[in-house]
Amino acid sequence: MKEPAMTQDNVRVDTAWERVDGHVLDQFRTHSVANLGDALDRLNIVDGGIAPIWNGAKAVGTALPVLTVAGDNKAVIAALEHIRPGDILVINAFGYDGRAIIGDNLAQRFAAYGAAGAIIDGYVRDAAIIEELGIPIFARGLTPAGPFKNGPGTIGESVAIGGVVVNPGDIIAADGDGVIVIPPHRADEALKSVSEIVAREAALDAEVEALRSKTAAS
């Protein structure tokens, strides 16, 4: 039987779930989020309001879901000790724009514990330092206002983020276009289908190249 969730000081924690192997994640790393989205029938994509906070940020990993109260990061701080290498913190902070849920200090702690990044349905701060450090953080925007630290919250339970349900251990891929959530049981299907999409995209590029040469010759 599944272990029940424990509540630690106002934050409920469930750690009874699995992470996929790193070699599965490596296969997703070679693909764009747009192509992965096409491979999953153009579904499973987080709304475009959640975007990288610096140009060039990208990340692939498995979801460590965190639910906070709007403007409060107690559950995020409590999640630090539950990070495993390759995790991506997926934080539902209710899209609230009045408080930053994390800044450079927490982003650096995520990285120090081996997290591959964080996706936040909410706002962040200290963006210039996070960019300088190259830590991939995706959020709705920036505000200098710091968060409260009272809770409650949950760690390791399913959350909603940008209109998509994220279960603990789901595969997350994020790049300049945005974020996709891939349930592990659909990983093989997604990888097979995305290689067909890559071939189709290459054929479209070749068509454009042929058109360009024809235009130049005329």
Ligand X SMILES: O=C([O-])CC(=O)C(=O)O
Question: Which segments are annotated as binding site?
Answer: 103-106, 125-126
Stretch 79-108 residues interacting with Mg ion (CB under 5 A): 103, 105
**String of DSSP letters for 150-213:** ---EEESS-EEETTEEE-TT-EEEEETTEEEEE-GGGHHHHHHHHHHHHHHHHHHHHHHHHHHH
Report the chain's C-alpha Rg in angstroms.
Answer: 19
> 86 is in the binding site of which of Mg ion, ligand X, none (Cβ under 5 to 8 A by kind)?
none
Q: What are 11's strand-pairing partners?
A: 8, 153
Minimum Å distance from CB 51 to ligand X? 20
Q: Residue from 141, 146, 169, 184 that binds ligand X (CB under 6 A)?
A: 146
Q: Residue from 61, 65, 103, 156 that binds ligand X (CB under 6 A)?
A: 103
Helices (H), the chain: 22-29, 33-39, 74-79, 104-112, 127-133, 187-217
Q: Residue from 13, 106, 171, 179 that binds ligand X (CB under 6 A)?
A: 106
Which residue ranges are tagged as binding site for Mg(2+)? Answer: 126
| 126 sits near ligand X (criterion: CB under 6 A) | yes
| 147 sits near ligand X (criterion: CB under 6 A) | yes
Task: Print the binding letters for residues 123-142 with Mg ion: x by CB under 5 A, - otherwise.
Answer: ---x----------------
Q: Looking at beta carbons only, is 128 or 165 nearer to Mg ion?
A: 128
| 73 sits near ligand X (criterion: CB under 6 A) | yes
**109 touches 76 (CB < 8 A):** no
189 phi-psi bin (left φ>0, alpha ψ -120 to 50, beta other): alpha
> 30 is in the binding site of which of Mg ion, ligand X, none (Cβ under 5 to 8 A by kind)?
none
Cis check for the bond before 65: say yes or no (omega within 30 of 0): no
How far apart CA 132 and CA 45 sit, in angstroms, is: 28
| 178 sits near ligand X (criterion: CB under 6 A) | no
Q: Which residues of the shown chain bind Mg ion in the complex (CB under 5 A)?
A: 103, 105, 126
